[in-house]
Structure 1
Amino acid sequence: MEALPRDTVVDVLEERLREDILAGRHPVGSYLPPERRLADGYGVNRTTLKHAFGRLVQAGLLETRHGVGTRVRDFARLGGADLLPMLVKHSPDWVGEIFEVRRGVGRLIAGQAAARATARDRAELRALLDAVRDAEGGEAVQLADIEVHRALARATGNRVYVLLTNTLFNAYLPVRAALVGPFTDAGAAHARLAPVVDAVAAGDEDRARQAAEAYLTATERIMLEGLA
C-alpha cells in the first residue's frame, strides 16, 4: 500500500491564503499586510510564508514587487484557465460555466475530428471506446471515457484542442468523485459515447457535432445531479 501524502505547513497556509483571496478577504489590487504581521496572524514563520507566497505568485493570484510588497493580482482579468481547478475547489458554482464551455468545445472538436481523422485516429478511437465498455468500476470507466475525448482532440490535428481538453478535465479534478454518475454503468457509458465515435469514424461532420451535443448534454445533466 502507498502511504497517504501528508499536508505540510506550507500546503495548509497556501490553501488558507488562497481561500482568503478568492473569498475577497484580501481584495483584488490590495497589498497584503507586512510579512511579519501576516506570519504572526497565521501562526507561522516568515520562511513558511515566503514559500506559500511563491506558490500563489506562480498560480497567478499574487504579485510581489521588491521594496513595495505583495499585492493580490486581478486574476479574473489577467488569469488563465490554469486557475480553474482552484476556483472550482473554492466554489462549485464554476462547474456550470465549465460545462457550458465543454459543450461548445466538445461539439467543435467532434466536427473537426470527423473532417480530419486519419485511419490511425479512427482505429485508436475504436480501441479506446472498447476500453470504456470493458472498464470495471465508475472511476475506471470515467478515466477510460476521458481518454476517448483526448483522442478526439488529437484527431483534429490541432494541438490547442488537446490542451483545451486537458484544461477542462483538470478543472474537474477537485470535484471529480462527485461527477462519476454517468460512468457507474460501463455499458450505458459506452452506448452514450459510441454515436460520437461512429460519426467521426464515418467522416460525417454534422452527425458528429449532433452526437457530441447529445452526449455532452446527457452526461452534464447526470453530473449536475451528482453535485446537487
Structure 2
Amino acid sequence: MEALPRETIVDVLEARLREDILDGRHPAGSYLPPERRLADGYGVTRTTLKHAFGRLVQAGLLETRHGVGTKVRDYARLGGADLLPMLVRHDAKWVHEIFEVRRSVGALIAERAAARATRAHHAELRRLLEAVREADGADAVQLADVEVHRALARATGNRVYALLTNTLFNAYLPVRAALRGPFTDPESAHRRLAPVVEAVTSGDSRRAHTAADAYLRDTERIMLEGLA
C-alpha cells in the first residue's frame, strides 16, 4: 500500500488560490488584494500566504513586484507547456487537447525516425518493444510503452522532438492512473505498437506515419473511455 500524502496549510492554500485563479475569480492581469486582507479572508497568516505565493510564482500563475503588489499572470498568453500538468489537474478537458497534439506530433516523429534512425536506434527500438510484452502489470506496460516513444523521438536526431515527447507525457501524468486501458494486457499492447516499430526500422516513412497515427488514435480512444 502507498502512504497518503499529508497536506499542510500551505498546500491547501496554494490549491485554493490556484483554483480561484484558474476559475477566473482572480482574472488575468488583475492585482490580488493586499496581503493582510487576503490572509484574513482565507483565515491564514501572512507567512503562510507568502509561502503559497512563492509556489504560484514558480508555477507561472503569479508575479510579485516589491512595493506594487502581486499580479495574476496571463498564463494563456505568457505560459509554457510546463503548466499543462497543473491545468489537467484543474480541468480534465485539457486531456482532449493534449491528445490532439499527441496524434499529430507522434505521427510526425515516427515519420522522421523512419528516415533518420541508425542501426543502433533500430536495435534499441526492438529491445524496448520486447520489454512492453515482458512487462508485468498495467503500470509497468504503460511505462515500457513510454520508453518506446522516447526512443522514437531520439531516433529523429532532433532533441526538440525528445523534449516535446517528455512534455506530452508529463502533461497527462496527473491522470495517468485512469489511462491504463490500452496497457492492461502486455501482448495486446505489444501488438498495437509493433507496426510502428516495424515501419520505422524498415525505413518506410509513409508507413511509419500511418502506423503511428493508427496506434495513437486507437490508444487515445481506449484511454478516453477509461477517463470518462
- Asked if TM exceeds 0.5, the reply is yes
1:156-209 Cα shifts (integer Å, max 9, x gaps): 111111110011001111111111100001100000000000111111100100
Residue 118 of structure 1 deviates from its aligned partner by 1.0
Aligned to 1:19: 19
Q: How does 1:144-183 map to 2 (within 5 A)?
A: 144-183=144-183
Residue 136 of structure 1 deviates from its aligned partner by 1.1
Aligned to 1:198: 198
1:57-101 Cα shifts (integer Å, max 9, x gaps): 111111111111101100001100011011111101111110000
Question: Which runs of 5 or more structure 2 residues have no equivalent in the other structure?
Answer: none
CA distance in 2, matches of 1:119, 1:221: 33
Indicate yes or no: 2:74 matched with 1:74: yes
CA distance in 1, matches of 2:12, 2:125: 41
SS of match in other structure, 2:172: helix
Count the aligned residue pairs: 228
Aligned to 1:85: 85
Indicate yes or no: 2:141 matched with 1:141: yes
SS of match in other structure, 2:26: coil
1:88-122 Cα shifts (integer Å, max 9, x gaps): 11101111110000001001100111111111111
Q: Could you tell me which amino acid in structure 1 is paired with residue 48 of structure 2?
A: T
CA distance in 1, matches of 2:152, 2:182: 19
Indicate yes or no: 2:58 matched with 1:58: yes
Aligned to 2:115: 115
Q: TM-score, normalised by structure 2?
A: 0.97
1:144-166 Cα shifts (integer Å, max 9, x gaps): 10010011001111111111001
SS of match in other structure, 1:211: helix
Residue 2 of structure 1 deviates from its aligned partner by 7.0
With 9-18 and 173-182 compared, the bigger mean Cα shift is at 9-18
Identity over aligned pairs, percent: 81
CA distance in 1, matches of 2:226, 2:106: 21
RMSD: 1.1
CA distance in 1, matches of 2:27, 2:145: 39
Aligned to 2:99: 99
Aligned to 2:34: 34
SS of match in other structure, 1:29: coil
Aligned to 2:130: 130
Residue 48 of structure 1 deviates from its aligned partner by 1.4
Q: Could you tell me which amino acid in structure 2 is paired with residue 37 of structure 1?
A: R
Residue 4 of structure 1 deviates from its aligned partner by 4.2
SS of match in other structure, 2:70: strand
SS of match in other structure, 1:70: strand
Q: Could you tell me which amino acid in structure 2 is paired with residue 60 of structure 1?
A: G
SS of match in other structure, 2:64: strand
CA distance in 2, matches of 1:2, 1:68: 44
CA distance in 2, matches of 1:158, 1:78: 25
SS of match in other structure, 1:5: coil
Q: Could you tell me which amino acid in structure 1 is paired with residue 92 of structure 2?
A: P
CA distance in 2, matches of 1:39, 1:200: 57
Aligned to 1:227: 227
CA distance in 1, matches of 2:12, 2:116: 47
SS of match in other structure, 1:212: helix
